[in-house]
Structure 1
Amino acid sequence: MAKPKLLYLCHRIPYPPNKGDKIRSFNLLKDLSEHYEVYLGCFIDDEYDFQYIDKLADWCVEFKCRRQRKLVSKIKGLSAFLTNKPITLPYFYDAELQYWVKQTIQKHNIENVFVFSSSMAQYVDHPEFAHLHRVIDYIDIDSEKWRQYAEHQSGLMRWVYRREHIQLQRYEQQYCERFNYSLFVSPDEAALFRQLMPVALGSKIHAVLNGVDTKFFNPEQALSAAEYPLHGRYLVFTGAMDYWANIDAVAWFCRHVWPLIRATQPDLHFYIVGGNPSSQVLALHGKDQVWVTGRVDDVRPYLASADLVVAPLRIARGIQNKVLEAMAMNKKVVASCMAMEGINAPSSNWLAASDEANEFASLCLQMLQQPQDGCTNRTWVEQNFTWPATLAPLSGYLGNVAV
C-alpha cells in the first residue's frame, strides 16, 4: 500500500544533525519518512550545509531548499514594526517557498502537514489550508526565550525583545488554536505552554522528547584524539558558538567560574568546541588556558578525553542535546539548573547542577576528584532518551499514518 503524503516545513535544513535543532529535526524526518512520502521545504542559512542537499533524497520524495541570507532576513524582519507582527515571521518568510508550498499541496493532494518551529507555521496558516491535518512542533517556547533575552538586556534592545516575546506568544496561541496538535521537547515545556494558553487548548498540547543516538555517542567505541591538539587535563563545552545562549554561557563561565577552578587546579584547560564562534567567543581563545576550536568534524574525541563536561547555560529551554550527548558518552557533567530541565536525572557523584558561580566551581572541583568508575549517566540515557523510545508517541498525533 502506498504511503500517505506529508509536507514537512523546517526553518533549517535538517541535515547534517550537527547542532541542537537539527538533531531533532533530522530524527523526526527519519521517523516521518518511514510512514509518509515526505515533501520537505526548508531554509539553508550556512554555506557549509549546501553540500548536503542531495542527501535529503534518502528521506524525501521532493524537497525545496531556499538560501537564507541573514542580513537580508534581518532587514526583512524590520518590517514587523510596521505590521504589528513578531520579527520572526518576516525574517523567515520567502515568497518562492510560499508558492512551492501551495503548489505542492495542490499537486500532490497532501492532507498532512508537519511544521518544525513556529517560524514556519505561517506558510500553512491560511483558511485554504484549514482542512489539512496540521501538527506543529514548537520544540520549545520561542516567546519565552525572547522574554529571557530581554532580562539580560537594557535600553532599546530590552524593549525590542520584550515586544518580540509578546507578539510571538500571540501567534503561538493562534497556531495552537488552528492546528490539530502542538508538540514540545519535554513535559516541562508542554506544561508551561498549557499555563500560557487558554484552558480549552490543553488537550492539543503534548510532549515528544528529544533523544540521543547511543550507538554513535558510545564511550566503548575506539576514538582517537591523536590528531587533535588537546592539552592535558581539560573541561569541555560543546555547542553552536554563534548562538547567543551558548555565547552567554561560556562568557559567564570564563568570567566567574573558571578563575575559581584554576586557582585550585592551574594545570587544567578549557575547550569551547563548536562552529561559527562569535567575536566574543574568539576573544577568549588562548587566554587563561581557554581554547576555541571552531567547527569540528566530530565532537566525540573532545568528549571522550575530557575530565569533565560543563553546560553553564543561563538562557535555555527544552532539553539540551549537549547534556544528553555527554551523558551518553558516560561523562561527568556539571550544568546549570536550566540546562538540566526536561532531563530530570537525579543528582549524583557524576551529575550536578547549580546557577551560582562559587557553587558551580566547587561542584566542578568535586567532580574532578570523583573517580569515573561507577558513572551511571549513560545508563540513565539508555533507559530514558533513545530516539526510538522518545519518538514512539509521534504517530498518535499524525494523520493517516501508514502502518
Structure 2
Amino acid sequence: MKVLFLVTRLPVPPWRGDQVRAYHHLRLLARAHEITCCALLTRPPPAPLRAEVEALGVRLVVVRLGVLGAVPALARALVGDARPLQVLLYARRRGAAAVARLGTTHGFDVAHAQLVRAAPYLPRDGHPPVVIDLIDALSANFARRAARERGPAGAVAAWEAARLARFEARLVAETASVLVVSEAERAALGGQGVTVVPNGVDPVAFPYREDGRPAARVVFAGNLGYFPNVDAARWLARDIFPRIRDALPAAELRLVGARPARAVRALADAPGVSLAAGVPAMAPELAAATVAVVPMRAGSGLQNKVLEAMAVGTPVVTTPRATAALEVRPGEHLLVADDAAGLAAAALDLLRAPGRARVLARAARALVERRYRWEDSAAGVDGAWQRAVDAARRS
C-alpha cells in the first residue's frame, strides 16, 4: 500500500526513542510498502542525512516549518487555543497546506503519524485513514515531571499535562488506530481503541558479550538532555553511586549520551564519575560496563536503555517506573528497587557476585531475543495499517 509516514524528527541518526522506533519501522516496512516519509522540521537536514533516510527504501519529503513560526503558534494558547504546547510548537498553516497537497498528489492509502505533535498535519476528513503512534501517554509523562519539578516549571508542566490529557483523549476517540509501546501506556490512555506495539532491539547492533568487562564500572546511558534522564543521572551520581563507592572504592560511574544538560556535565566533577557525550555508538559503552543502573523516577513509555543493556549482556538494576512497560520478572531478568539505598545494594550485589550477574544477563538476553524483536514491532504497525484501510473500505 501507499503510506504517508509523518515524523517531526528525522529518523537518522537514531538517537532518541522516537527516532529509533521510526528508523526500524521504516527499514522493515519499506520492503513491502511504498512509503513517503514526510519530515516536519524547523530546518532542512544536510544531504548525508537525507541520503541515509532514502537508503532505507523510502521517499523523503521535508516540510520546513522554520523557527520563527513557533512564536505566533505558541501565542495561540493565550487567546483560547486549547491544544497542548507540544502541538502548538509544531503547528504551521503553511506546513499543513504542504502536507495536504502531498496527500492530494499521491493518493495515499493510509497516513501514519508519530507523536502527538504531528496531529495538526493529519487529514481532517478521514481520507486516508489515520494511524497515530503516540508511543506513550505524554500527559502522564508531564504529570510525573510536574510532581518532581518545583516552582514555575512544575506549574507549567502540570498545566501542559492537563491539556495533553484532553487532547490525547480526543485523538483516541477520533483516530482509526492509536499505537503505544506498552500495556501501561494503553491503560493511561483509557485502553479502548489503543493497540500495544512494543519496541525492539537490533541484535546485530547490540551483540551479546560476557568477557572483557571491568571489575566495577556502572553505566547510565540515554539522551542526557531529556528531563527524566537528567533527573535519573543526578539521583544516580549524587545519592546512589556514593553509596556504591563507599563500599567499593574502585567503582566508577560512566554517564553516556548526547546533548548532556549543564546539570549532567557538572556531575563529572565528582570522584569516580566520567561523562561521554555524543559517542558514535551506544553498544560498546554498554558492553564495557559491569552493571547498568537505570534509576528512572519520571518519564513514560518503554525504556530502550534497559532493553539495550539487556541485549549486550550488561545486568540491569532499575526502578519500578522503568520496568512498568516491560514483560520482565525482577530477580530473573534484572533487579529492581525504589530508593537509593536499595538500588545501591542491588548494584553492589551484582558487582560482588559475577556469577549471579552472568545468570541474570543470559536470561535477559534470551528474553530480548524472544520478545523484543523489531520484526515483530514492524508487523504490529503493518497490521494496524491494514485494519485501518479495511475499516475505511467498509465504511
Give the TM-score normalised by the residue count of structure 2.
Answer: 0.89
Counterparts of 1:34 and 1:222 in 2: how far apart (Å)? Answer: 37
Correspondence for 2:216 among 233, 251, 258 = 233
**Is the aligned partner of 1:373 residue 2:369?**
no
**Is the aligned partner of 1:210 residue 2:207?**
no
Counterparts of 1:258 and 1:331 in 2: how far apart (Å)? Answer: 17
**Is the aligned partner of 1:157 residue 2:153?**
yes
Counterparts of 1:290 and 1:75 in 2: how far apart (Å)? Answer: 43
Counterparts of 2:326 and 2:243 in 1: how far apart (Å)? Answer: 28
Q: Secondary structure at the match of 2:190?
A: helix
Alignment match, 1:396 = 383
Unpaired runs of at least 5, structure 2: 391-395
**Is the aligned partner of 1:132 residue 2:132?**
no
Counterparts of 2:46 and 2:339 in 1: how far apart (Å)? Answer: 38
Alignment of 1:162-241 (within 5 A): 162-194=158-190, 202=192, 204-220=193-209, 233-241=216-224
Does the C-alpha gap of structure 1 residues 351 and 50 become closer, same or farther in structure 2, counting only changes over 3 Å? farther
Does the C-alpha gap of structure 1 residues 53 and 96 become closer, same or farther in structure 2, counting only changes over 3 Å? farther
Alignment of 1:271-350 (within 5 A): 271-348=254-331
Alignment match, 2:4 = 7
Question: Contact 1:334–1:360 (CA<8 Å) still a contact in 2?
Answer: yes
Q: Secondary structure at the match of 2:300?
A: coil
Provide Cα deviations, 1:228-256, integer angstroms capped at 9, x if missing partner: xxx87311111011111100100011121
Provide Cα deviations, 1:37-61, integer angstroms capped at 9, x if missing partner: 1122224479997641122222322
CA shift at 1:153, angstroms? 2.1
Match for 1:278: what amino acid? A
Correspondence for 1:27 among 24, 27, 31 = 24
**Is the aligned partner of 1:64 residue 2:62?**
yes
Q: Secondary structure at the match of 2:98?
A: helix
Provide Cα deviations, 1:15-69, integer angstroms capped at 9, x if missing partner: 2222222111111222332232112222447999764112222232242153664
Does the C-alpha gap of structure 1 residues 279 and 121 become closer, same or farther in structure 2, counting only changes over 3 Å? same
Match for 1:281: what amino acid? V
Question: Contact 1:56–1:63 (CA<8 Å) still a contact in 2?
Answer: no
Counterparts of 1:57 and 1:182 in 2: how far apart (Å)? Answer: 26
Does the C-alpha gap of structure 1 residues 186 and 60 become closer, same or farther in structure 2, counting only changes over 3 Å? same
- How many residues matched? 382
CA shift at 1:81, angstroms? 2.9
Correspondence for 1:18 among 15, 20, 43 = 15
Provide Cα deviations, 1:115-171, integer angstroms capped at 9, x if missing partner: 110110111152xx3232100111000111111111112333232212111111111
RMSD: 2.5
Does the C-alpha gap of structure 1 residues 60 and 31 become closer, same or farther in structure 2, counting only changes over 3 Å? same
CA shift at 1:275, angstroms? 0.7
Does the C-alpha gap of structure 1 residues 47 and 242 become closer, same or farther in structure 2, counting only changes over 3 Å? farther
Q: Secondary structure at the match of 1:211?
A: coil
Question: Contact 1:349–1:370 (CA<8 Å) still a contact in 2?
Answer: no
Match for 1:11: what amino acid? T
Question: Contact 2:139–2:165 (CA<8 Å) still a contact in 1?
Answer: yes
Unpaired runs of at least 5, structure 1: 196-201, 226-230
Correspondence for 2:112 among 111, 114, 118 = 114
Pick which of 357-366 and 383-392 moved more: 383-392
CA shift at 1:214, angstroms? 1.1
Counterparts of 1:239 and 1:44 in 2: how far apart (Å)? Answer: 23
Provide Cα deviations, 1:333-384, integer angstroms capped at 9, x if missing partner: 1011111122121122661111211111111111111224333210111111
